[in-house]
Chains A and B, each alone.
Chain A
């Protein structure tokens, strides 16, 4: 069966103006228990690549510049 991708609004939002992933920081990507954050090839900033979030907060709490915000996933908001 062929695959389709489907749209999902992801709970973790990164403020590109504050994110310093382009300077080599990978803290949020490192600490995520579900391993859902990545650094974008295009922007060199962190982003949520997979919508598999436990809304647990290490990414937000450990970010050195306060660039990461964890929202409650839409389905359980």
Chain B
């Protein structure tokens, strides 16, 4: 049989709660939904394989936002994230996270995932943020996925690997009715009816093109092509603050974290070519990234992560984490270049752009119960709008989503959807397989992402954006009319390109809508260089209305934790002052 031969087929199944995405938030959501109602059917659908999918495929080196009694309070954390995100935060969801995350840590501990403890048996939390102390190392962080998988098997969650969800279906009155998916190895389609659906599909990490030119050399797991953002958009859900891009300081060319959160607490720091510090705090904020960007362009670049001043034993300890967990090929990469942290600093660079609430604030809008604006549709993890929520946020908010979604499913019957919607989606999905001649998905993807770099990367210039949108529209026409997929694997990539294109359009639209600069580098508009609290101290919500991309303002909910006036700009003072 030819490689990944296409099989034409369509079948239908049903379940009570459908969780899409088996990375971090998804397994926790599925688990909590099933534990809430053990008689219900919970399906976990995954484009890859739940065993090794998502951002934490090879584990994680630590918790970046652990609110642990004795070290930090929910109030303090909520305040820190509010300031780090320039005030545009619905604090209720952040505060709820901060209150719940400690119990999730204890639960993860009971799964066999170990966290660093001191000689007294207390969690050994480290300081990386500007104000508070929230970073908790995970000495056996490489075991996370295996530990989660054991729990899923024990709870008898129904796992469907290698199915890529492509669109959601809804009833006439707008309630969620299920999802349409396609097998990534046979192209057979599967409709899954569900009473509630939870989207846990990760960041839009394949949006910008890495400077190496290798399309899959992204910061995020390259499987995270923004499918969740695109699906939510086409289902009519609102997406929040998409102009607040994710941009990270990464090991140049390797494009993974160095990682300041691991090495910082041991005394490593970010330095310029003169060996001097230039930022106050290594926590990833837009304001910090702006200083990083300025330093690179100032003639004082390259920028480095400096470790060589540390004791060799300390460096070995940092090395053992960096080269074992999260991105273990970091060691191989440095070895290939002959870089020894004991004698040489790590050259850093700026990543391509993406959407990700895990690090910034661009996500599908959710409230403090992980509900989107579509009844019965939930979102959690990197793709949901709770800002700066990292891995622990994915677990904690995934848990919230799972419990609330099962409650919704218990109180609702299946919603009816129009069979014509399925027929139309089948036609869209299969279209690239029906053409004899055309452009392969990799070329359309390369061009789209190259345009994202050329026109959408900050600094955001209105004229460039207008040109970029025209070029993207031309690429979209090629994608819709001429793209070909000769086997099921190419079809997977062809479908991903369509998500990437939708995300590029959303990035452009959202960025032009907010006529101010905010979040440092993430939304630096040269035509509107100042922060404008009078007109833009608000969320922006992007959605599809009558088939068109539309943006509107949404007021920031009144704060639960008040922020004093002299605290509001703490994250604006990132550059180290030259004199006292």
Within the complex, the shortest CB–CB distance from B178 to chain A, in Å, comes to 24
Residues on B with C-beta less than 8 A from A49 are 3, 489
What sequence of 0s and 1s flags, for each residue 29-68 of chain B, a beta carbon within 8 Å of any chain A beta carbon?
A: 0000000000000000000110111100110000000000
* B437 contacts chain A at the CB level, 8 A cutoff: yes
A63 within 8 A of B: no
Could you say which residues of chain B place their CB within 8 Å of the CB of A76? 210, 212, 214, 217, 253-255, 333
Query: Is A73 within 8 A of B217, CB to CB?
Result: yes
Per-position binary interface string of chain A over residues 43-77, scored 1 when its CB falls under 8 Å from any chain B CB and 0 otherwise:
00000011011111110011000000011110111
Q: Does B132 contact A (CB under 8 A)?
A: no
B48 touches which of A35, A41, A52, A77 (Cβ 8 Å): A35
Q: Which residues between 23 and 54 of chain A lie within 8 Å of chain B, taking CB atoms? A: 30-35, 38, 41, 49-50, 52-54
Chain A residues with CB under 8 A of B327:
56
Q: Could you say which of B161, B216, B437, B489 contacts A54, with CB atoms under 8 Å apart?
A: B216
Q: Tell me whether chain B's interface is mostly helix, strand or loop, or mixed.
A: loop
CB-defined contacts of B70 to chain A, threshold 8 Å: none
Interface residues on chain B, number (Cβ under 8 Å): 43
List chain A residues, Cβ under 8 A from B53: 33
B551 to chain A, nearest CB (A): 33
A6-29 CB mask vs B (1 if < 8 Å, else 0) is 000000000000000000000000
Residue contact B223 to A34, C-beta cutoff 8 Å: yes
Residues of chain A at interface, number, CB under 8 A:
29
Residues in A with CB closer than 8 Å to B223 are: 33-34, 54
> What is the distance, in angstroms, from A14's C-beta to the closest C-beta of chain B?
16
- In the bound complex, how far is the Cα of B48 from the Cα of A52, in angstroms? 14
- Which residues of B160-192 have CB atoms within 8 Å of chain A's CB atoms? 161-162, 184-185
A31 touches B52 (CB 8 A): yes
Task: Specify which chain B residues have a CB less than 8 angstroms from the CB of A54 in the assembled complex.
Answer: 57, 216-218, 221-223
Whether B131 sits at the interface, judged by CB under 8 Å, is: no
User: Which residues in window 427-473 of B have CB below 8 A to A?
Assistant: 437-440
List B94-145 residues whose CB lies under 8 Å from chain A: none
Is the CB–CB distance between A33 and B217 below 8 Å? no
Interchain nearest-CB distance for A40 vs B (Å)? 10
Q: Which residues of A contact B333 (CB under 8 A)?
A: 72, 76-77
Whether a CB of chain A sits under 8 angstroms from the CB of B336 is: yes
Query: Closest 10 A-B residue pairs measured CB to CB?
Result: A76-B212, A58-B52, A75-B214, A31-B52, A33-B48, A76-B253, A54-B222, A55-B329, A33-B223, A52-B216
